[in-house]
Chains A and B, each alone.
Chain A
């Protein structure tokens, strides 16, 4: 469980939420509720921020920078599956209580993100079903987009066409 943000941080987080695409359309009270579950984090380039197999305790809303989602593949080494940048969110394993991260995430550039406390957000979603629905709808959209991207990548569209 993360500590709630200090008052000055709270105002800064609120300001970020007001402009972050993932939270667009949420009301001010909804953003205030979410801001109380978040802390601002800064990471240097090359910093691991998620480790495969560790408990998934939250998610990140990227404000600035770039993060690579990676897997360590035996023999091949570290493989980058996708990169996430400004305005996107990272992580949804936290939605299932007790889940573990299924990938590594490492910054490629100096990165600023809001880190959300997963259990606190889930508790908020249970207490405020309307907010919970809106949040889950957004996360479902992110998941659907990533699934679509993965499917297209599997087509190997730039490979030599075969009839």
Chain B
């Protein structure tokens, strides 16, 4: 790499694993900050109401956010797992709960249960090339692992982020993407489906950008999050380039309701997404992913 790695002194190699807690008991949090990211997506910064540290989590895990009087929704954590003073969630306003969360302002309260689920395989990525492929809001669950890779840049080989969105106005964390591309150390490729003539970036599918990466398939792991149809095509394209299904990780975020594998809402064949996932390898979902009946 041409640029020096980020300082890693005094930073643990992996974030602190979450302490065991009662999964049914929510914790009161307060909104410390709100940012409108795009027309339908926003980010909340949350602090525990008791003034203590925010809950520990691992990149890829999710919380259940409870909007008073409306209900709960499963939302991935989008912040830095090494920072304990605040919890960050990036949310798309697509339903009643997320609609109510979108109406929260600084100082408002909500309840949080979590963290839940199987995280990205951080320990297994050490020493390998890592390709992160995100589509739309799918960048949010990948942001914590990207921050981890940056923080411990020297522990990994080539790192690339390939991100697709609907239009330039729908790109999440756009200033972060620009900074990431400028400072080097990570190959950043961004594309959109639709753009006017003023957009000077790429237009086309994320799969079209994978050809720009110098992939050594035997030492590459891919982390993928986006619409299932996008993940399907990404898997096919990575497969053509020699990356095995066992090395392609995806996060499935279907219909999660109770978060602990009791209610069955998120069941995918024999798997419960909330409990067995949401992170799986494609090999683990063999025969399940993309099946019409499921």
Contact = CB atoms under 8 A, between A and B. Distances in A.
B227 interface: yes
Contact of A157 (B92, B199, B227): B227
Interface stretch (B151-159, B205-213, B270-278): B205-213
B208 A149 contact: yes
A24 B164 CA distance: 29
A155 B205 CA distance: 12
Contacts of B227: 157-158, 161
Interface in B222-261: 226-227, 229-230, 233
Interface stretch (A10-18, A31-39, A73-81, A110-118): A73-81
Interface size class of B (residues with CB under 8 A): 20 to 34
B212 A76 contact: no
Interface string A144-163: 00000100110111111100
Contacts, number: 67
A80 B211 CA distance: 21
B196 interface: yes
A109 B109 CA distance: 49
Interface in A59-111: 66, 68, 70, 76-83, 85-87, 106, 108
Contacts of B212: 85-86
A106 B199 CA distance: 12
B60 interface: no
Nearest to A45: B200
B193 A158 contact: yes
Contacts of A77: 196-197
Interface string A35-50: 0000000000000000
Contacts of A155: 229
B230 to A, nearest CB: 6
Interface string B33-51: 0000000100000000000
B229 A152 contact: yes
Contact of A79 (B135, B166, B195, B211): B195
A68 B197 contact: yes
A79 B197 contact: yes
B196 A80 contact: yes
Contacts of B165: 158
B94 interface: yes
Interface of A: 66, 68, 70, 76-83, 85-87, 106, 108, 149, 152-153, 155-161
19 contacts: A76-B196, A77-B196, A80-B196, A83-B191, A83-B203, A85-B212, A149-B205, A152-B229, A152-B233, A157-B227, A157-B229, A158-B166, A158-B170, A158-B193, A158-B226, A159-B166, A160-B40, A160-B92, A161-B227
